[in-house]
Amino acid sequence: MTVPGIDQPALVAWMGRHLPEVGEPLSVSLISGGRSNLTYRIQARERDVVLRRPPLGHVLPTAHDMRREWRVISALAPTAVPVPEPLAFCADEDVIGAPFYLMGHVDGVAVRDRDELHAGPEQARKLAERLAEILAAIHALDYREIGLADFGRPEGYLPRQLDRWCQQWERSSDGETPEFTRLVARLRERMPAVSAATLVHGDYRLDNTLVRLAPDTEILAVVDWEMSTLGDPLADLGLTLTYWHDPGDDERAGIPVAGDVTLAPGFLNTAEFAAHYAKISGRDVTDLPFYIALGNFKLAVIVEGIHARFRQGKTVGEGFERIGAAVPTLISRAHRMLDQEASA
């Protein structure tokens, strides 16, 4: 069977030269794709491995950089931050049509919706706490010591983020959106003059981790590092909470890019998660409403990019036909967070 995005004979030959210890690949299947980099499981004779490559179409400049993602998981492998085992990187686009890398398969599950959790309240709370603790651990790393001193430019991170995502919006959007323009102006006006500098994941949420629920609850690996860089750790926290769904937030239910796992009984709500992160990290989260507004802005741009790929027929997977409707909702939520900050 043909698998989109994979030249299987060429991949088999490449793996035979570069990863002979894995054994002959027996099958390749798509795990997830369309919204982000494509992820495939390769069942080989000796062990299972995972391949990551860029999406098939509408790849924006600076996005979906396989080498950066490979570099960061290689740097994190010896640290306390759990990541899959890095195995091999291929820059030669002639092999499968794009750069890719291979990593070890992790025997955990990505949980997105509450009906997938299969956990009691105590397990759910522990999982939410571990999510906050690992985010704090990422931000506590000395990025210079692990070889990532040149992985980004922490100075001026927030203004550059705003400029970069505005450029991405212009490349993806197919019309004028006055409320987006007004949001950009408000974010620029409210932006903190000084911010901390750490390694940031860039898209940290529960379904970008692989978890084990039994016999004990644990996060086995953090994955999807494609947007990682050096920057403001509170921007990571703000985006994480952009994905959060608190009880009673009916509007949030209409944003299909994030599931409803945080509604599971026992799971921390937004305020509890922020408080646990603050306790573990020792960071001041007073300005969090600004960062959640920034997260909604960033997610709106990401969703617009996904919608652009859908319009071009370049998505792989299902459920993209309604995704564009989330963009104005995210923009509106960002405005409300800034209103909240202003009235505090």
Q: What are phi and psi of 126, to 5 degrees?
A: -60, -40
Which pLDDT value is given to residue 61? Answer: 44
Q: Which of 104, 137, 170 is the last residue of a domain?
A: 104
121 and 67 in a single domain? The answer is no
124 and 247 in a single domain? The answer is yes
Residues 6+ apart with CB under 8 A from 261: 111, 112, 113, 114, 116, 117, 206, 207, 245, 267
Q: Is the pLDDT of residue 324 over 80?
A: no
23 and 161 in a single domain? The answer is no
Q: Please report whether residue 286 resides in a domain.
A: yes
87 and 119 in a single domain? The answer is no
247 and 181 in a single domain? The answer is yes
Per residue in 83-140, pLDDT tens?
999 999 999 999 999 999 999 999 999 999 999 998 899 999 999 999 999 999 999 9
Q: How many domains does the chain have?
A: 2
99 and 230 in a single domain? The answer is no
234 and 324 in a single domain? The answer is yes
Q: Are 251 and 305 in contact (CB under 8 A)?
A: no
Q: Are 257 and 203 in contact (CB under 8 A)?
A: no
* Region for residue 224 given its phi and psi (left: phi exceeds 0; alpha: psi -120 to 50; beta: otherwise): left
* Average pLDDT estimate for 211-226: 92
94 and 118 in a single domain? The answer is no
268 and 137 in a single domain? The answer is yes
Whole-number percent of the chain with pLDDT over 90: 73
**Banded model confidence at residue 315, pLDDT cuts 50, 70, 90:** low
CATH of the domain at 248: 3.90.1200.10
70 and 164 in a single domain? The answer is no
pTM of the model: 0.90
Structure tokens at 183: 């949001």
Q: Please report whether residue 109 resides in a domain.
A: no
HSE (CB half, 13 Å, CA atoms) of 10?
Answer: 14
Which pLDDT value is given to residue 4? Answer: 84
CATH of the domain at 39: 3.30.200.20
251 and 323 in a single domain? The answer is yes
Q: Please report whether residue 311 resides in a domain.
A: yes
Give the range of the structural domain holding residue 244, as residue numbers without chain letter: 114-343
